[in-house]
Amino acid sequence: MASQQEKKDAPSKNMLWGGRFTGGLDPLMVSYNESIYYDRAFYAQDIAGSIAFARANTVSGILTKDEFSAIEKGFAQVKKEWETNTFDIKPGVDEDIHTANERRLGEIIGTNIAGKLHTGRSRNEQIATDMRLWLRDELRKIETFLTDFLQVTAARAEKEIDFVMPGYTHLQRAQPIRWSHWLLSYGLAFATDLQRLREVTARINRSPLGFGALAGNSFKIDREAMAKELGFDSLLFNSMGGVADRDFVVEAMQWGTTLMSHLSRWAEDLILYSSAEFNFVRLADAYSTGSSLMPQKKNPDSLELLRGKSGRAFGHMAGLMMTIKGIPSTYNKDLQESVEPMLDHVKTVGDSIQIATGVLSTLDARPASMLKALTPDMLATDLADYLVRRGVPFRETHHISGRVVALAEKEGVPMDKLSFEQLRGVDGRFEEDIMETWDYQRSVELKAAKGGTSKAAVLEQVEVLKGMLEGK
């Protein structure tokens, strides 16, 4: 029967680093130190990295071909156990995913062979490799989510291009625009986010495997061969910096925070547009909830959650930046705190894009309500532009248009109900064709310069968006 001292020693004796320590660990410290219950998300990446490392050590003579075959076969069983949720985590022993996988491998193929796997390798490089592999793959999934969202945006912009609505500045009615123009104002911002995502993913996809703890590998391991096997585009080239680098996580979170800030503003507009006061759009029941008290309510909870989760995403980024800003060079345990926020950030961003796609693809746009919200005073700039085309300086026409606005307010009528004689009374340079100004479709069609809200300009924006999806 084990003595009390042996029981006290057990937690550290079973660790990979346990030979250095003779005393036991505080049980709270054991759980405080463990990361297995969240970094197990990297089980597949850790196994792939271990197989690539073992293959390279076989080429350099550390392992025999038979030993490598046993390691590869053993890891196949370990991976299956993770996939079927039958892997038995040993609390207090399986400190992290690396120790758990190696411990189980030893049980399957024997510790004599499994014990050779870690030759020249450190968990410092393992976690850096696992995180890059996992994040690369997850961002590629997010790229497909964002592409789907942008395809829905482009399709609706084309289909609903004839819908005209108020455009706003300072949340005040400003000028008539196309509904499609509003869609693309965010769509092109999201397309720029897509470009950034591709750039971030490329920078993440660089291999630190073969760096050791910090000084490099002593066994002439072929880092390029391992990188190629794991699908990395290139290598990192400084072992000290590589094991400590979490900039790739920060950059991914900075990207995600930017994306979520755009989603938050997009959601805020749709929250307003779905209210009874606007009634420009109606959300599908699948993305709304009701009130426990007021049966008439239809709440845009999906959009409110998108707006709220942008703060959560920002918190991930800000928290990690504060964690790493003051640590000294190479690996420090503080870096373990990069894992949980990364996992939650990726899930938050990925889920949010999919929810946004669902909202937009099922949204009911209401062009009659949009048209009803347009008012003649929104054509005041068109009135000024009329005189500009007749050679009057804009500063003067702006003042004249303002006098027309004041006259309509004084008379208590919309601007388009003023008679031609009343307009001539404001300025004698108005001709009878001034009455054609009171046409919202004409107004949007006059904004024909690239990037404007005319039909041709909007359709050109759709093509630009499609080109960005294709990487042009």
Q: Which active-site residues does the annotation give?
A: 170, 291
- Measure CA of the first residue to CA of the last residue in the chain; give whole Å: 71
Residue type, 241: G
Q: What is the DSSP string of 137-154?
A: HHHHHHHHHHHHHHHHHH
Residue type, 269: D
Residue type, 12: S
* Distances in whole angstroms, Cα of residue 83 to Cα of each of 43, 76, 133, 186: 9, 11, 18, 39
Give the C-alpha separation, 403 to 428, whole Å: 13
In sequence order, the β-bridge partners of residue 175 are 167
| Cα angle: 98, vertex 101, 104; to 5 degrees | 145
What is the three-class DSSP state of 470? coil
| Cα angle: 186, vertex 189, 193; to 5 degrees | 135
Asked if residues 209 and 98 have their Cβ atoms less than 8 Å apart, the reply is no
In sequence order, the β-bridge partners of residue 207 are 235
Asked if residues 255 and 349 have their Cβ atoms less than 8 Å apart, the reply is no
439 phi and psi angles, rounded to 5 deg? -140, 110
Q: Is 269 exposed, middle or buried (0-12, 13-18, 19+ CB in 10 A)?
A: middle
For 19, which DSSP code?
G
